[in-house]
Amino acid sequence: MATWHGDFSRKGPGLLVRELAGDKPVPGVASIAQARPDILLLTNFDFDAGHVALGALQSRLRDQSWPMPHLFALRPNTGLPTGVDVDGDGKLGGPRDAQGFGYFSGQGGQAILSRYPVRLVADHSGAFWADAPGSLIAKDDPVGAAQRLSSSAHWAVEVEVDGAKVTLLTLAATPPVFDGPEDRNGRRNRDEVLYWSHVLHDKAAFADAPVVVLGNFNLDPDRGQGLHEAVAQVLAHDRLQDPLPKVPTVKWERAGEMRISYILPDQSLRIGKAEVMPPEPKAGPHRLVWMDLLLD
């Protein structure tokens, strides 16, 4: 199983499709083919309604002898208009005025490729920020009660492997930066990171199969900006385990190395090998995270 915030997003609709469907190499494909994951969550992949870009990535991986015949993606909150001037620049329709940052609807969403069948269990992406347990949304938030919690998506997706089932709980939280002293992004990031932890406090939630929380938290337990206690709470959850403590998953030009992408399996799962791959040139600063999960 793997997750990667690879550079599969462009600043216009259709641009990623054009690149992946073309003849030239696309940075990032080689890392996936090298990792050879059975299940892969990408947290920075442009969505299109026909899954054309995702299908083109499938074709490229198949050409490199790693077929992943099953795919899954839903329209994310990125680029979805709110109709509100969220950033206060006096204009509507900018990337920061959307439910999640995006120059167009679907930019930088989530996508799953798998060698095994994938089934949606629940899509929590429409949940409102104000309804999140212990929500830190401000009383005077510009979008108010209509603001969704997920800047991208929160999916519960079931994958069946030779009769054994595992439920993936995905997320790609907003960075806790790029705002002002009101710390709107920092507060929202905290609540996005904590969301699945709150759900799992209900012992009956997803009790029929082991779970794996994975994706881009955009939050290091110790370094950088953000409300770090959110990660600490998730890592300490009694249903989850952390096979890669303190291993960085990104290297920023100025801020240096941080851990912001995670795979946190159920305590009931046995772990084989787990690694963070070296960065691929021209594929962005993030590193692909993978681990072997042993399903009984």
Strand locations in the chain (E): 2-4, 39-45, 70-72, 109-114, 118-123, 155-161, 164-172, 211-216, 250-252, 256-258, 261-265, 270-276, 289-294
Identity of residue 125: S
Residue-wise pLDDT for 223-252, tens only, equals 999 999 999 999 999 999 999 999 999 999
pTM, whole model, 2 decimals? 0.97
DSSP string computed for 89-140: SS-SS-GGGBSBS-SSTTTTEEEEEESS-EEEEEE-TT-BGGGSTT----TT
Question: What average pLDDT does this structure show over 59-83?
Answer: 97
CA–CA separation, 259 and 220 (whole Å): 5
CA–CA separation, 175 and 70 (whole Å): 30
CA–CA separation, 121 and 2 (whole Å): 20
Sheet strand arrangement including 164-172: 118-123, 155-161, 164-172, 211-216, 261-265
Question: What average pLDDT does this structure show over 182-188?
Answer: 97
Position 296 scores a pLDDT of 73
Contact assessment for residue 28 and residue 61, using Cβ atoms and an 8 Å cutoff: no
Q: Is the confidence at residue 271, as pLDDT, over 90? A: yes
Reported as a pLDDT band with limits 50, 70 and 90, residue 96 is very high
CA–chain centroid gap for 138, Å, is 24
Sequence-ordered list of residues with C-beta below 8 angstroms from that of 285, at least 6 positions apart, any chain: 250, 251, 252, 253, 279
Identity of residue 245: P
Can you tell me whether residue 281 is helix, strand or coil? coil
> Domain residues of the chain, as ranges?
2-294
Q: Is the confidence at residue 209, as pLDDT, over 90? A: yes
Reported as a pLDDT band with limits 50, 70 and 90, residue 160 is very high
Position 295 scores a pLDDT of 85
Specify which residues 98 forms β-bridges with.
81
Mean pLDDT of the chain: 97
**CA-closest candidate to residue 147, choices 158, 155, 139:** 139
CATH 3.60.10.10 at 2-294, yes or no = yes
Name the helix (H) or strand (E) containing 150: none
Dihedral sign computed on CA atoms, order 79, 101, 279, 216: negative
Contact assessment for residue 148 and residue 99, using Cβ atoms and an 8 Å cutoff: yes
